[in-house]
Structure 1
Amino acid sequence: MPFWDNARFACIVLVVLGHAIQRLIYDSDIAYAMYLAFYAFHMPAFAIISGYFSKSDPPSRRQMVRLMTDVLLPYLVFEGLWWLTKLLVEGRADPNLTEPSWTLWFLLALGIFRLVLPYLALLRWPLLWSVLISVGVGYLPNVDSTFSLSRTLGFLPFFVLGWWLREHDVVERFGLLRHRPWWLYAAAVALFAVDGWLAWSGIAVWRDIELRYWFFYDDAYTDLLSHPVWWGGAMRLLTLVIGLILSAAFFVLVPRRRTPLSRLGQYTMYVYLLHSFVLYPFRESGVLRDLEPTWLWLPTVCVLSVAVTVLLATRPVRWLTGPLVEPRARWLFRDPSLLPGRRNDPTGSRRPKAPSR
């Protein structure tokens, strides 16, 4: 379905854009408002897509091998590359596999999502349990970024929701990919208009309370609020609701037909793992600070972010970096025949086709 490829491509563009403008938000209220507007939903949408293409059956031997080749091995490879990069550029390295470097947290999250899903699927109301886990983990300061566990459990409801939609065939039964009335598009545009207006109109407050950290789903409530409060869970629940509503609006606006960029949506993991190395020099050198005028530099960074996304998904880049992003490691397995014949992006980009929509 071109729809899912288009959705993945749009999500990965927002990921690159978010990391690209991160240094601009300290000096520009417009950049900060823009950052908040899509950070509220872009990773929730990514998690929903990943869940939609995941299975809750007990893993077979082949699926266990795939988990290692799609998630664990790329994580080890790119952690090693980050250690080397920091050693060469910063003159220091702190090898620690329990603390994912920058964007690598999502790889671990995908692995943990897949491991816990078969257990959640055995329960009644798995969606409700995932929400309770997400809200409850914020009350536990000892659950932190080690193995990206706090963030993984925070985003868990979105992944489970994606699986639930596929499990109950909601997309097919309601014809969500066949026909969309005009008012649905209008409602989605209106939601994003409200999203942008709220992000801009309350920018002073959002800076003061450091709202962006709530959308990371990473910190305990005591860290976000400076003191223990019972209503921290209500704030987490609110961010979940906002993420759900805006993700729904996002999916409404995603084109259903094939576009020139649809095929690039099948290679989101290349972009996800490689773009941080492209942005690293700009992030660390400080060249993105104090850029004026904003009306010139913010659109420029946006255009360059799309260009970087397209470039990293192209065939030459995939050919060059394929052994790193999709390591085969036949030597590692006792039975190499279990290795998948066709590689799979762990976000679900190249999973077996979904039922006809």
Structure 2
Amino acid sequence: MSSTPPSGPVATPKARVPFWDNARFACIVLVVMGHAIQRLISDSDAALTVYLVIYAFHMPAFAMISGYFSKSGPPSVRQMKRVLTDIVLPYVFMETIWSFVQYLVEGKQELNPTKPSWTLWFLLALAIFRLVLPYFALLRWPLFWAIFLSVGVGYLDNVDNTFSLARVFGILPFFVLGWQVKHWRLVERWRLLERRPWWLRLAALGVFAGWVAVVAAFLDTWRAIDLRFWFFYDDSYDGLGEDQWWAGAVRLAIIVLGALLIAAFFVLIPRRENWMSGFGQSTMYVYLLHSFVLYPIRESGILKNEPFPELWLIGMLIVAFLIAVGLSTAPVRRLFRPLIEPKPKWIFAKHDGLPPGPSRTDPTGAKRPRTASVPTVRADGTKQ
């Protein structure tokens, strides 16, 4: 018995691009490494060097990847639901768990969801990025305005870590840059996912070698001015100890440095599918769970005042890599999927469509006045 083929073109799912999965996994490994060695940086110059090299670009790189895959048009019902299920609910769950853990371990009696714990700030940042991107897309020079806001907000002492706003504004240029790269179709036009010439990879290695050399050569200066806090994007210039009018130029230089390092980092990422690609599809699990694994190590004090901090540095970098791999595995995903990828269909309305026609209510809840309808013309030329 033969079957009749369906008429019209058949939609096929888009194939995953291994490069982006590889880039995500490399980024999340750097995130875990940075958190794993943080307690060593006061005792080890080598640890501080690695820390500053990582923190100059790893979260901006994550923001840029997120921007590349974000849509700037009016959100659909499905996209709005995904903001709730993929960002808001995991944030509420993990923030509640963190508050409970901190109460048990530190006696901290505070449940304040407006002040995200440790790594959870990035979830709030993603939610806000998605909300504001359609408005940036309406502007001329959206990247310029994102940089302007990032630099300008540093002069305001009242913008802090409430709802992660300081960091949201701080790394906003990288998110917008990712969206602009997609909007300009630079990946396709410049064939960035194809094989890279040897000289380009050599140049990328040179960029990182140069940054490592600069960090190592002026390490005492970076330690004295607390350069690592500048890479957090979570404090005003005054709070960082620089209240001069030109402090914004420092952040601008850091943004340019981050963009340069991100470009070099992406050049070095493998283009083809490999052992990293599968792990790169589970980075949210690693991001949200690795802090619970590292928390006992960090709070135990075993990484402070060690006689051989360089050996501990190597050990913690290896441990961080193993944590990233372990938290990407299928058993971990199955166990924690209800927290990381909740599917609470019961909280949504039963219909998936928006009300027909334009909204009759403005954002304040007031009814809009009716406007005269524009007559439409039938095919025979008569109006209706």
Gaps of 5+ in 2: 1-16, 354-384
Distance 2:309 2:206 in 1: 25
Q: Which residue of 2 aligns with 1:62?
A: 78
1:95 equivalent to 2:130? Answer no
Q: 1:237 aligns with which of 252, 277, 280?
A: 252
Q: Which residue of 2 aligns with 1:36?
A: 52
Q: 2:141 aligns with which of 121, 125, 131?
A: 125
1:292 equivalent to 2:307? Answer yes
TM-score normalised by the chain length of structure 2:
0.86
SS in 2 for 1:54: coil
Q: For CA contacts below 8 A with separation 6 or more, give which structure has more relative contact order.
A: 1
**1:292 Cα shift?**
3.0
SS in 2 for 1:225: coil
Report the number of matched residues.
337
Higher share of residues assigned helix: 1
8 Å Cα contact 2:44-2:310 kept in structure 1: no
1:104 equivalent to 2:120? Answer yes
Distance 2:162 2:300 in 1: 27
TM-score normalised by the chain length of structure 1:
0.93
Q: 2:189 aligns with which of 156, 173, 178?
A: 173
1:265 equivalent to 2:275? Answer no
How does 1:1-357 map onto structure 2 within 5 Å? 1-226=17-242, 228-335=243-350
Distance 2:51 2:183 in 1: 33
SS in 2 for 1:222: coil
**1:225 Cα shift?**
2.2
SS in 2 for 1:262: helix
Moved more, 318-327 or 83-92: 83-92
Distance 2:100 2:345 in 1: 25
Distance 2:111 2:170 in 1: 26
Gaps of 5+ in 1: 339-357
Distance 2:109 2:334 in 1: 29
Q: Percent identity?
A: 59
For the aligned residue pairs, the C-alpha RMSD in angstroms reads 1.1
**1:328 Cα shift?**
1.0
8 Å Cα contact 1:330-1:336 kept in structure 2: no
**1:294 Cα shift?**
3.0
8 Å Cα contact 1:2-1:262 kept in structure 2: yes
Give CA-to-partner distance per residue, 1:292-312, whole Å, 9 cap, x none.
Answer: 323322111111100000000
**1:337 Cα shift?**
5.9
Which amino acid in structure 2 is aligned with residue 335 of structure 1? K
Q: Which residue of 1 aligns with 2:375?
A: none
Distance 1:108 1:337 in 2: 25
Q: Where in structure 1 do 4 or more consecutive aligned residues deviate above 4 Å? A: none
Moved more, 192-201 or 115-124: 192-201
Give CA-to-partner distance per residue, 1:157-180, whole Å, 9 cap, x none.
Answer: 000000011111111001111131
Q: Which has the larger radius of gyration?
A: 2
Q: Which residue of 2 aligns with 1:345?
A: none
Distance 2:141 2:83 in 1: 26
Distance 1:83 1:210 in 2: 28
Which amino acid in structure 2 is aligned with residue 30 of structure 1? A
Which amino acid in structure 1 is aligned with residue 185 of structure 2? D
Which amino acid in structure 1 is aligned with residue 318 of structure 2? V
8 Å Cα contact 1:213-1:224 kept in structure 2: yes
SS in 2 for 1:216: coil
SS in 1 for 2:276: coil
**1:335 Cα shift?**
2.5
**1:88 Cα shift?**
1.6
8 Å Cα contact 2:43-2:309 kept in structure 1: no
